Amino acid sequence: ETGVTQSPTHLIKTRGQQVTLRCSSQSGHNTVSWYQQALGQGPQFIFQYYREEENGRGNFPPRFSGLQFPNYSSELNVNALELDDSALYLCASSRQGITGDEQYFGPGTRLTVT
């Protein structure tokens, strides 16, 4: 098991609501990346945080936002939830200048929007 934890495990929200997902990074890692994985699809990059600042963003609207804290844990916030936001949200912890074997994924948060 990786040292990356995510909370909550599952979440059900109503369309139009807001949600906050949390990720605790592996010890020694200063970078957190967030991914959205729709059912039957591969993960899609949302954004990355490094030293508390956004450091790259995928093709997601501004209602997807994030934070990184001094202990390198991170939050993903989604406003005005839409049905298509239903997915597994993964965070990945790493050091900057990553190689693949140094990026560890958490188990994900399953978000259902009704």
Within a 10 A sphere around the Cβ of 98, how many other Cβ atoms?
15
19, two tokens: 């949600």
AA letter at 14: T
Provide the minimum distance between the beta carbon of 7 and other proteins in the complex, in angstroms, as a whole number.
14
DSSP state of 97: S
Residues between 21 and 60 that touch other proteins (CB under 8 A): 33, 35, 40-45, 48, 55-56, 58-59
Rounded CA gap, 91 and 107, in Å? 8
Closest to other proteins by CB, 15 vs 52, is 52
**Where does this chain bind other proteins (CB under 8 A)?**
2, 4, 33, 35, 40-45, 48, 55-56, 58-59, 90, 92, 99-101, 103-108
